[in-house]
Structure 1
Amino acid sequence: MITERTLPYWLLAPSLVFLIALFAYPFADAFFIAFRADGQWTFDNFRTMVDDINFGLSLWNTMLLVLIVVPLQIAIALTMAMMLTKIRAGRDLVLYVWTIPLGISDLAAGVVWLALLSERGYINTVLSALGIVDGPALWLSYETPVALFIAVILAEVWRATAIVMVILVAGVQLIPKEYNEAAEIFGASAWQRFVKITLPLLKPSLQTALILRTLLAFEVFAVVVALGGRDLPVLMGEAFLWQFDYRDSGVASAYAVLILLISIAFTLVYLRVLRVKEEAE
């Protein structure tokens, strides 16, 4: 029987079932497959993964991508959130325009940037028309890995910064205006108010945004495939390759477990560094 005491649990039950069915069970299954081979418990799948010619490069590319993209997105999103607090007229319109990328899938975002940066794309067309380049520049070629990597960074920053901005905007709106007003009266500059008041009170939002974006950045795949294909190996791409091209679920699961463990490690670091003190009751 549903009572006032049990009502919260009944309301949480559908979400719990959803999480178990679509997240907990697949994770458990991936762990099981990763540590099994020929009917025995073994680390062979992980040895095969580490010995793979693309493992080191895919790990390096993924880590570098996360370490560049996530701080960039946080900085840009924080700037956008602070700008929104200063806008009076047309604020909702600006917010709407900035969040348009949220409605675009990963693959669609990759295709958009492919149309911009391909040999016959818009950017090369404009540069050629202006006489800046003699022929089409190879932005997305294996011959220009740095340009390809930068293209993926630009696409990821454009695609996913909006979700970070939404989280930070919500956090900024929770900061009482009286704090900044009092600091301004006592002569604090805008920078001092930002560093001493806004940033400390944004810790919970920053923590949430960092964890969310880092987890998703480690899973980057569709944008990389659209822009670089196999020319830019990443961990999630290698997992996909072993699962669907090589038909080896064990090694693919080993990649998935590695991604999960690295993500957990980053999450624990964020929780430690950006520890949020509980409010006194």
Structure 2
Amino acid sequence: MTAANQELADFLRRARAAVDPARAGLPADGRVRRVPGLRREEVSLLAGVSTDWYTRLEQGRRITPSDGVLDAVARALDLDAAGRAHLGHLVGAPGGRGARGAAPAQRTRPGLRQLMDSLDGQPALLLGRRTDVLAGNRMAAALFTDFDRLPARERNYARWVFDTDEARALFLDWEVQARAVVENLRLEVGTDPGDRRAAELVAELSAASPEFRRWWAEHRVHQRTHGSKRLRHAIVGELTVDYETLTMPGDPGQTLFVYSAPAGTASREALDLLASWSLTSRPRV
């Protein structure tokens, strides 16, 4: 079984096991359930497909279903929008991109870097494939870490979150933030199961972190579009920052994260103080 087919089989089995049969509207049939969640024949019933067809799909067989059939399977498995997109990616159907060839190295457009630098009071990070950090402005370096100072191989957000004591000390809700990183990386890897560098990153983090290894095995996916982070910063103390994400036109593999705090709040005052401090701290090279 190929890596892509194995990913599909694993995702479907775990999604099926997570569905409560009673909440799915299935009547009790008196049969003893030896495994949690739905049986394959119940998924096929809810999705309106044959049990044989669904079994072949879950076994990772080469099938190209329509978007409508994938929508029906997603509803039967109670998948959210990220889960539905992940399913499409793994199947390689019209709704997903499926496996692709080797992608070129990502570059930051000069205009985009200028835009990030102009957000003088707002931390901004540009993430690429596999959570590689492509660029960050002065405030992002002050709030998180200066990725530009790290060796090129270490300029990766997931690696920083799981491999450094700095990140564990910074995030008050480290487990929440780290799990979201895993689930977002799962979604990203699903768009290109043959990505060798992504596989190497996953292998390294799995070997180094029991938390990463456990959460990766759950095969949950999540797309970060907005949210918040609770921090305990060494310079300005505790603060909460909200973030919004922007996908770059012309390169959907790049995502801009912009962090802010509401005016008049202690968190906004902390960001302003951090902005002043970063102007007098050592210059970036």
Over alpha carbons, which structure has the higher Rg?
Answer: 1
Establish whether TM, by shorter chain, passes 0.5.
no
Larger % of helix: which?
Answer: 1
Larger % of strand: which?
Answer: 2
Task: Give the TM-score normalised by structure 2.
Answer: 0.20
Task: Give the TM-score normalised by structure 1.
Answer: 0.21
